[in-house]
């Protein structure tokens, strides 16, 4: 019997720049000031970091605070659990993601390594090239998860689940807006 090793982590990411991203730390070590950040990320295009697999956008063109769960398996494509699948609203086409071992999930404005800032929370994913699919969940539709004060219940689903697994014969999305239906 073959066992599949799954890595999973969750984070809450804030953005005032309109989108969140899963990004490879090694690909952005040179981004050390605002000028470099603007050059690299202000006008993201289809031949830049998204196409190169350095970042996966979780971009719904909206500022906010988003819960993100990342599920990874190198052996077999991970899947949504039953509860996540029941409240999935949108699914992206696959993105190429290249991990050099350390990844972050932050608002796009926090991509880079700035001397005067605390580094973002880091997570470990094995080095390699993978397929990443972003799922947006409508957790508010699950009974009891939206509290009367408008906040999420402690056990509410995240806003996004990113599934990262082996590459199969496929083409990859290059658009920084994650879903066509936004």
pLDDT tens per residue, range 31-55 = 998 888 888 887 665 558 999 999 9
Residue 102: the pLDDT is: 97
Q: Tokens 């496929």 correspond to what residue?
A: 170
The DSSP output letter for 113 is -
Pairing of strands 123-124, 88-91: unpaired
Q: How much is the average pLDDT of 122-151?
A: 96
Give the H or E element holding residue 133: strand 128-137
Domains within the chain, CATH numbers bracketed:
7-165 (2.60.34.30)
Give the predicted TM-score (pTM) of the model: 0.93
Distance CA 75, CA 133 (A): 16
* Dihedral sign for Cα atoms in the order 17, 160, 67, 87: positive
Q: What is the DSSP string of 47-90?
A: TSHHHHTSEEEE--S--EEEEEEEEE-SSS-----HHHHHTEEE
Residue 38: the pLDDT is: 86
**What is the band of 1 on the pLDDT scale with cuts at 50, 70, 90?**
very low
**CA 132 → CA 3, 54, 152, 163, distances in Å?**
21, 11, 26, 6
9 pLDDT more than 70: yes
Residue 40: the pLDDT is: 82
């Amino acid at each position: 019997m073959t066992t599949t090793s799954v890595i999973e982590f969750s984070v809450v990411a804030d953005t005032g720049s309109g989108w969140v991203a899963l990004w490879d730390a090694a690909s952005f070590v040179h981004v050390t000031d605002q000028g470099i950040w603007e050059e690299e990320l202000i006008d993201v295009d289809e031949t830049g970091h998204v196409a190169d697999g350095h970042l996966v956008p979780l971009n719904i063109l909206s500022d906010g605070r988003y819960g993100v769960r990342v599920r990874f398996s190198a052996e077999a494509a991970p899947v949504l659990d039953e509860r996540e699948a029941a409240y999935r609203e949108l699914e992206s086409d696959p993105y190429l993601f290249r991990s050099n071992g350390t990844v972050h999930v932050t608002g796009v404005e926090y991509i880079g390594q700035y001397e005067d800032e605390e580094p973002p929370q880091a997570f470990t994913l094995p080095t390699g090239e993978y397929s990443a699919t972003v799922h947006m969940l409508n957790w508010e539709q699950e009974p009891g998860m939206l509290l009367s004060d408008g906040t999420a219940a402690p056990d509410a689903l995240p806003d996004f689940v990113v599934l990262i697994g082996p590459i199969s014969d496929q083409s990859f999305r290059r658009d920084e807006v994650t879903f066509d239906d936004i």
